[in-house]
Amino acid sequence: MTVRAKSEENPASAEAAISLEAVERAVAELRRGGAVVVTSNDGAVLVRAAETVDTWPLPFFSARGVGALALGVTGRRASILGLSQPDVRAVRLQSTKSFTPDFIRALIDPQVEDLHIPPAGVTATNLPLHSASDAAILLTKIARLLPAAMVAPLTESPAEWAQSHERLVVAAAAIEAYDRDQANDLRPISEARVPLAGSEDTRIISFRPRDGGGEHLAIVIGTPDPSKPVLTRLHSECFTGDLLESLRCDCGDQLRGAVATIAKNGGGVLLYLAQEGRGIGLVNKLRAYTLQDRGFDTVDANEQLGFDDDERVYLPAVRMLRHLGFTRVRLLTNNPAKVGALARHGIDVTERVAHAFPSNAHNQAYLQTKAKRSGHLF
């Protein structure tokens, strides 16, 4: 019997759907170099992704009703610059010199090699949690840009200012709820039989939220029985490893190995999750690779860029498993964090099944870092 996704359960509320649309539109605006207004209970700020700043002065930021410009970065990035502690979530950087494109790039991009000490004239102030500026940095993460934003407070009514200047408005609460709302809104879109080498009895079910955001795939092999723990693999997409067979990681081996293992065991499911580079995106992963070539390990490279060492979320996986009718799994993984993430959201992980492959000269240090610093079990 073919496993088919269940009909929609607990659809996202109309309010959540509106919030998702607002965040997606704001993301598109930031990625094209535009500015948006982010609002919260403590006020509103005009925001532009720092990575996109290539001209000066910035349009709109010198308009009436816009306050002093600052640069918002994560606490991790600020700590790299010697301006904050890494356990602070976000900080506001102010400077006695102008935030020119070159100066901004030096502050946010560790690939700029001429800035190794705290820059003169730059001061840091911790940003309140859930503030508009704090949410603005999170918005750049969602956009898969460097996690840094140019922010300036609005001194006039945010709604009126945004309307008169034709700027999009998005609430900080919507940005913070984005991952949860998008996961809750996932639903099956299409399903097809796709015979695989070594596993001809395979179907692929695509999932995406109504806002057209990230698409995830459930690769159902054989006919797994939902009444029993289902052999399951959560696999984060890896363009370089899965498709190009890069030797820098073990992702390609894990993907093909999981398909073979599941098929050999009579069936199961592989969830192919759209969260490249531990959730930082392909472009930022390539930036991290450049830093690794300079001697940083994979954890430090991500943190140099201003990200956490692992930005992935597993709510989409939980949602997909429930759609498929699977609530008990035998999890193919070396990562205890995946076990904990599923368990916290009501998926019973009855067994962790080891999933390791031989290293090579290019990924040996990477695997050692996963074991020593990320707690992977090999």
Active-site residue, from 144, 310, 319, 322: 310
Distance CA 48, CA 261 (A): 46
Q: In 3-state terms, what secondary structure has residue 125?
A: strand
- Residue showing tokens 């193919």: 332
CB of 250 within 8 A of CB of 334? no
Q: In 3-state terms, what secondary structure has residue 325?
A: coil
Distance CA 7, CA 187 (A): 8
CB of 39 within 8 A of CB of 23? no
Q: Are strands 230-236 and 216-222 parallel, antiparallel or unpaired?
A: unpaired
Question: 126-152: b or e for each residue (b if 16 or more CB lie within 10 Å)?
Answer: ebeeebbbbbbbbbbbbbbbbbbbbbb
Distance CA 318, CA 88 (A): 29
- Residues 6 or more apart from 100 whose CB is under 8 A from it? 56
Of 304, 333, 311, 331, nearest in space to 86 by CA: 304
Tokens of 101: 């494109």
Residue 248 bears catalytic tag: no
Distance CA 116, CA 99 (A): 18
Residue 312 bears catalytic tag: yes
Tokens of 136: 């603005």
> Alpha carbon 211 to chain centroid distance?
17
Helix axes 315-324, 336-344, angle to 10 degrees: 60
Distance CA 41, CA 195 (A): 52
Helix axes 14-31, 132-142, angle to 10 degrees: 70
Active-site residue, from 208, 312, 319, 322: 312
Catalytic residue numbers?
310, 312
